[in-house]
Structure 1
């Protein structure tokens, strides 16, 4: 499912205008990005949390040059689903093997 698919679904359920729905979705995503880039986590009860995860400095490998490199400490955005959401997916979605997951079963927003 893509962002356009989500917008279409919302329009069909609410009867709102496409341009208004698109603006709401875009603003929602913008506010999440702004919150995370300013160091603030976003909590959506019953859905999940958009959080900032800390990654410590570590030693990595540059395979093509066959050298060790230091990967500096950094923060990354992450999504942690709510427990109820996780249980719902476990209950309703059949097992999907990592390598066999097709595009029609994934959601890109």
Structure 2
């Protein structure tokens, strides 16, 4: 009977140790998952930051392109006006 009590005590201790080991493994897994999530969040934040930089650069380039287009259109309009003036002057200069 004493030996049965001893075995029962050993089994209870073994079960308790298994429970503690399972809990420790679970906590370790949770820590690893937490670390993985934090790493993923940091990576996502870096990607968002890079995307914002690229977006700002694209917006700047678009604004520069619009300015260039406006300047070209103004130069073209001035060229057309200048051409019209030359044509008018040439018509007056012709001797018929």
- Higher helix proportion: 2
Query: What is the TM-score when the length of structure 2 is the normalising length?
Result: 0.24
Q: Which has the larger radius of gyration?
A: 2
Q: Which structure is richer in relative contact order (CA contacts within 8 A, separation 6 or more)?
A: 1
- Higher strand proportion: 1
Query: What is the TM-score when the length of structure 1 is the normalising length?
Result: 0.22
